[in-house]
Amino acid sequence: MENFLLSLICGVIGAVLGSFSVAQVWRVRAKQLQEERESGKKVDSTEWKKLRSLVSVKTKKDRSHCLNCNYQLKWFDLIPIISWLSLGGKCRKCCSRIGSLEFFSEILMFALFVIIFLIFNPISNGTVLVLPAIRLFILLISLVPLAIMLIYDAKWSLLPTKLLYIFNILAFIYWATGFLTVSGGFNLRSIFYLVISMMFFPLIYFVLAKISKEQWVGGGDWILAVGLIFLLPNHPVFAIFLLFLSNVVGLVFAVFQSILHFRKVKRGTQIPFGPAMILAALILLAFQQQILVFFVNLIM
């Protein structure tokens, strides 16, 4: 019962942060459009008109509101999942569609927080283990910039630089604190494993990005790969699995996109790879124990 209640609380927090993540997606997009306009670049006038109110409000006074009629949402409009369902996915005032992005983001973050809590539960025999609890907290918080980047890259094929660095810092702290919870701690083998992992995935993508001038691989993909390596167990096998699974997920995404738009994806068509990498990393994170057992049995 205790684990059920704690996992439910984690899920609710995840749903709240899922809603927050989508709100930040629109704020980051609004800021990007503003910067592009100021630099003389042409932007979509309809999109800018819809989002410009997000950059004209000071942070302290920034409250969630409908992007169509500017209705300021009340507390009962902000209850994750429930509010969207009760309003039928529409604004309470103007009845314009809010969109399913917010709803699915809340659902997925709810599920992610519950699953990760159950996998990395820091409670043993009724006692909270401090270091595992700290690592769990860092891991859950790191899901927020990941969620924002997943949505942003999927919609606009761009990984915001600031979010990349925020995520990488959190992922590095998560990786570093892992050595405090295992016997042997930090050693030369740990450094060796990390270097091999970085050379296998992030370095290869860095080289590909530079050679192709970011035509084959985006400039932010290799930076994201660095953080994802930190987030996964410190062993080169996970870098191999991450590279392989990312491409599989990317291929599935391309096929789904062609079916959705009823057209064949042409050779050379750029498909955002960030979401595929993030989804692949989350799958590996959830099944890391099974992967380690499989790998050990394979080499024995």
Question: Which sign does the torsion angle of CA 160, 166, 169, 170 carry?
Answer: negative
Asked whether the beta carbons of 142 and 165 are under 8 A apart, the reply is no
Residue from 34, 32, 102 nearest 66 by CA: 102
Enter the pTM of the model: 0.89
Asked whether the beta carbons of 249 and 210 are under 8 A apart, the reply is no
Residue from 116, 114, 112, 92 nearest 104 by CA: 112
Ordered alpha helix ranges (H), 39-87? 45-51, 82-86
Length of the chain equals: 300
Asked whether the beta carbons of 249 and 279 are under 8 A apart, the reply is yes
Per-residue confidence in pLDDT tens, the chain, 300 aa: 678 899 999 999 999 999 999 999 999 999 999 999 999 899 988 899 888 888 866 555 566 777 778 777 777 777 888 888 888 888 887 877 777 888 999 999 999 999 999 999 999 888 999 999 999 999 999 999 999 999 999 999 999 999 999 999 999 999 999 887 765 567 788 889 999 999 989 999 999 999 988 888 888 999 999 999 999 999 999 999 999 999 999 988 888 877 766 556 565 556 789 999 999 999 999 999 888 888 777 776
Token pair listed for 199? 């050379």
Conformation bin of residue 40: beta by default, left when phi > 0, alpha when psi is -120 to 50: left
Asked whether the beta carbons of 18 and 106 are under 8 A apart, the reply is yes
Q: How far is CA 181 from CA 73, 122, 190, 288, in A?
A: 44, 11, 14, 17
* Domain definitions of the chain by residue range: 1-119, 134-300
